[in-house]
A and B are shown apart, each in its own frame.
Chain A
Amino acid sequence: MLERRVAPSPFLAILSPVIAVALTILAGFALFAALGKDPVQAMEVYFLSPFADAYNRSELLVKAIPLALIGSGLAICFRAGVFNIGAPGQYTLGAIFAGGVALHAPEGAAMIWLLPACLVAGIVGGMLWGWIPAILRNLAGANVILVSLMLTYVAALLLDWLVRGPWADPLGRGFPKTATFPDGALMPNLVEGTRLHWGLILAVIAALVLAWMLFATRRGFGIRAMGLAPKAATFGGFSEAKTVTYVLLVSGGLAGLAGAVEATATIQQLQPDIAAGYGFAAIIVAFLGRLNPIGALIAALALAVTYIGGENAQILLKLPKNAAFVFQGMLLFFLLACDTLIHYRVRVRRRTGAA
C-alpha cells in the first residue's frame, strides 16, 4: 500500500537514480538470459567495456557531450511542465545550420570566426525549430508533444534532401554526405590522441549557466512555479505563454548547439544519420539528472555508457543497434517507479474486519 509522505524525501531523490541503474542491470541480465544470449558476456560488453581503456573512457566523454547539452536544456523545459520531445529535430536543425555556414563560408575569410559562427548558427537553427511548437501552442493550443515530434521527422527528411541534393559532395561518388567542413569550422581537440573536444567545456558552462538561471533568477523561479502549480504561477504574474516560449527556445537552442558541436567536432560533415538517437536518450538524461542542469551532466555519462556499450555489442556480439534502447527504456521505467518512493512510502497494512 502506498501512502503519501508529508514532504518529499530529499534522500530518496538522490538515491532513486542509483537504485534504477542497479535494477536496469539486473533486469538486463534476466532479459538477455530469457532471449537465449549469454547474459554475463552481454553485461560485460554493455557496462564494463566502456571503461576498459583510455580510448573507451575518452569516447564516453565524447558521447556524453551532446547528451549533456540537450539534457540540461530539457531539464529546464520539463521543470516548466512543457514536454518537448522534439529535441532530435532541433538537434538536426542545429547541425544543418552549422553545416550550412561551414560549407558556404567564403574562401579566405577570417577563419578564426568560422567555428563560432557555425555554433551560433546551430543555436539559431535549434531555437527556430523549438519556436514552432511554442507558436502553434500559444496561438492555437496545439499539443507541444505531438507537434515537436512531427517536426523531428520533417527535420530528418530535410537533412536527407540536403545531403543527397543541393549540398551533396560533388566528389562523394553518390554517397549521401556533404564535403568535409573547412579546417576553420572544425572544433579543436582537447586531449591529443583522442576525439575529446572543446564541446566538453561548452557543456559544463551551459549546465552552470542554466543552473544559475533556474535557481537564482526570477525567471527560473517562474519556470519552477509553472511546473509545480501553473495557476499559482499565473496569479503570481508569470505569463504561461511566455514561459512556454522561453523554455522551448532555451532547450531548442541547446539541442541545436549539440547538433552543431557534433557536426563540427566528431562527424565534420553532414550525413543523414547524424542524430544517433541522442534526442530521446537526452530525455532520460534530464529525468535521471533530477531535472537539474548539473545533474544532467552526471546523468549524461550514465547514458553514454549505454551508447559505447551498444556500439561494442554491435561489433562484438552482433546485436542490433537498437538493443541499446532496451536499457534506456528500462532505465526510465525503473527511475519513474523508484521516484514514486520520493513522494510515497510503502506501508504494509493489515486489513481488519471493520475496514
Chain B
Amino acid sequence: MEAFIVSMIIAATPLLLAATGEVVAERSGVLNLGLEGMMLLGAVAAFAVALSTGSTTLGFVAGAGAGMVAAALFALVALGFTANQAASGLALAIFGTGVSGLIGQGYVGSAIDPLAPVLAAESLPDNPALRVVLGQDAMVYFALLLAVGVWFYLTRTRSGLKLRAIGDDAESAHAVGLKVLGSRTAAVLFGGACAGLAGAYLSLAYTPLWGENMTAGRGWIALALVVFAGWGTIRVIFGAYLFAAASLSQFYGGALGLSIPSQFLAMTPYLATILALVVISAAGARRNAPAMLGLPFRPTR
C-alpha cells in the first residue's frame, strides 16, 4: 500500500505541474494544446544540463526555461499573428517532439542520479503515513505549493481577477484599459515554464533517463485534467492524484492476479480520461470554461 501511494504521488507530480500551468493559460483565454511538445523540450533540456553540470537544480531551471522558449514561439504565432490556437498548439506539439528527439539523440542510454528525497530515509519517523508524507522529493511539495499559490492568485488577488476577466471577455477588458495581449503572453509563458518543469521531473526524477517521446501522452492527459477539474486548481490537485492512481492500476492489475493482457491494462489512463471527460461534461462542468477560450483577440481601437 505504501509503495502504491508513493508511486501515485510521483506519477501525479508531472501531471499536476503541467495542468496547473495550463489552467493559468486557459483562464486568460488561451488554449495551448502544445503541452506534449513543451514537456518533451523541458525533459531533454533538463536532462542535458543535469548531465553536464551534475546539478539537478540547474536541470530543473533549464527545463522551465526550455518550456518558456517553446511557449514564446506559440505565443508569437497564436497571439502575435492571431492564428488558430488549436492548430498552433498542435504545431508546437509536433515541433517539440522533433526538436527534442534531435537534441536528445546523444543522451539516449545515459543515466543520472535521480532527484533525492528532501529528508534522508534514516531520519524519517517509523509511522508509515508520516514516512509517505515527509519522504518525498522537493518537486512533489513544490508542485502542490504551486497549485495552491495559483489558486490563491486566481481567486484572491486583483491581478488574478483581471486575468480571468481577460479570459472571459477580452473586448471589455481591453475597453477598461487592461493589457490583453501582454497578460495572455505572460500566462502562456507561465504555462510553458510549468510544462517544462513537468518534463524535467520525468527525465530527472521519474525515470531518470532521456528517451524519445518519453512523455507518452501525459501532456494530452494534463489537458484533459484541466477540463476534468473545471479550470479550478484545487480540483486539479485531486484530479492529478486520481488520474495517477488510475494509470497505476495497469501495474498493480497484474500483481492482483488478473489475467488481462498488459495492453488492455495500459489503456486504462486513456479510457479513464475519456470517461472523466464524458462524466464531467455531462455534469455541465464546461459552464466553468473561460468564455473566450481559444478565441483570438486583436485590439481594433
Q: Is the CB of A83 within 8 A of B86?
A: yes
Q: Which residues of A contact B (CB under 8 A)?
A: 2, 4, 31, 35, 83, 85, 136, 139-143, 145-147, 149-151, 153-154, 157-158, 160-161, 164-165, 280, 283-284, 287, 319-330, 332-333, 336-337, 339-340, 344
Q: Is the CB of B77 within 8 A of A333?
A: yes
Known contacts A2-B298, A157-B263; decide if A320 and B282 are in contact (CB<8 Å).
no
User: Which chain A residues border B83 with CB–CB below 8 Å?
Assistant: 336-337, 339-340
Q: Is the CB of B271 within 8 A of A329?
A: no
Pick the most buried of A150, A161, A320: most chain B CB atoms within 10 A of its CB: A150
Complex alpha-carbon distance, A214 and B278, angstroms: 31
Q: How far is the CB of A212 from chain B (nearest CB, A)?
A: 26
- 23 cross-chain CB contacts under 8 A: A4-B298, A136-B274, A136-B278, A142-B274, A142-B278, A143-B277, A150-B220, A150-B270, A150-B274, A157-B263, A164-B263, A284-B94, A322-B97, A322-B101, A322-B212, A324-B98, A325-B94, A325-B97, A329-B95, A330-B95, A333-B77, A333-B88, A336-B88
Pick the most buried of B76, B81, B96: most chain A CB atoms within 10 A of its CB: B81
Q: How far is the CB of B226 from chain A (nearest CB, A)?
A: 10
Known contacts A141-B282, A322-B98, A322-B101; decide if A329 and B92 are in contact (CB<8 Å).
yes
Q: Is the CB of B300 within 8 A of A140?
A: no
User: Which chain A residues border B104 with CB–CB below 8 Å?
Assistant: 320
Complex alpha-carbon distance, A332 and B78, angstroms: 12
- Identity of the chain A residue whose Cβ is nearest the Cβ of B225 in the assembled complex: A146
Q: Is the CB of A140 within 8 A of B274?
A: no
Known contacts A141-B282, A161-B263, A325-B101; decide if A150 and B271 are in contact (CB<8 Å).
yes
Tell me the residues in window 248-291 of chain B with beta carbons closer than 8 Å to chain A beta carbons: 261, 263-264, 266-267, 270-271, 273-274, 277-279, 281-282, 286
Q: How far is the CB of B97 from chain A (nearest CB, A)?
A: 5
Taking the complex as formed, is B213 at the interface, i.e. its CB lies under 8 A from any CB of chain A? Answer: yes
Complex alpha-carbon distance, A283 and B224, angstroms: 21
Query: Contact partner of B264 among A157, A284, A323, CB < 8 A?
Result: A157
Complex alpha-carbon distance, A284 and B82, angstroms: 18
Taking the complex as formed, is B73 at the interface, i.e. its CB lies under 8 A from any CB of chain A? Answer: yes
Q: How far is the CB of B223 from chain A (nearest CB, A)?
A: 6
Taking the complex as formed, is B161 at the interface, i.e. its CB lies under 8 A from any CB of chain A? Answer: no
Complex alpha-carbon distance, A151 and B267, angstroms: 9
Q: Chain B: how many interface residues by the 8 Å CB criterion?
A: 53
Main secondary structure of the interface of A (DSSP, over half): helix
A-B contact count (CB 8 A): 151
Q: Is the CB of B102 within 8 A of A153?
A: no
Known contacts A319-B105, A325-B95; decide if A146 and B273 are in contact (CB<8 Å).
yes
Complex alpha-carbon distance, A319 and B286, angstroms: 43
Q: Is the CB of A146 within 8 A of B223?
A: yes
Complex alpha-carbon distance, A322 and B282, angstroms: 38
Complex alpha-carbon distance, A327 and B94, angstroms: 9
Query: Contact partner of B91 among A31, A151, A329, CB < 8 A?
Result: A329
- Identity of the chain B residue whose Cβ is nearest the Cβ of A35 in the assembled complex: B102
Complex alpha-carbon distance, A329 and B41, angstroms: 14
Complex alpha-carbon distance, A18 and B18, angstroms: 35
Complex alpha-carbon distance, A330 and B198, angstroms: 23
Taking the complex as formed, is B87 at the interface, i.e. its CB lies under 8 A from any CB of chain A? Answer: yes
Complex alpha-carbon distance, A332 and B74, angstroms: 11
Q: Is the CB of B102 within 8 A of A322?
A: yes
Taking the complex as formed, is B227 at the interface, i.e. its CB lies under 8 A from any CB of chain A? Answer: yes
Complex alpha-carbon distance, A255 and B91, angstroms: 20
Q: Is the CB of A322 within 8 A of B213?
A: yes
Chain B 59-85 per-residue mask, 1 if CB under 8 angstroms from chain A, else 0: 000000000000001001110011110
Query: Contact partner of A337 among B77, B93, B224, B298, CB < 8 A?
Result: B77
Q: Is the CB of A150 within 8 A of B273?
A: yes
- Identity of the chain B residue whose Cβ is nearest the Cβ of A147 in the assembled complex: B274
Tell me the residues in window 194-240 of chain B with beta carbons closer than 8 Å to chain A beta carbons: 212-213, 217, 220, 223-224, 227
Q: Is the CB of B94 within 8 A of A280?
A: yes
Besides A165-B261, A323-B102, A332-B87, 5 other A-B contacts (C-beta < 8 A): A4-B298, A153-B217, A329-B96, A333-B95, A344-B298
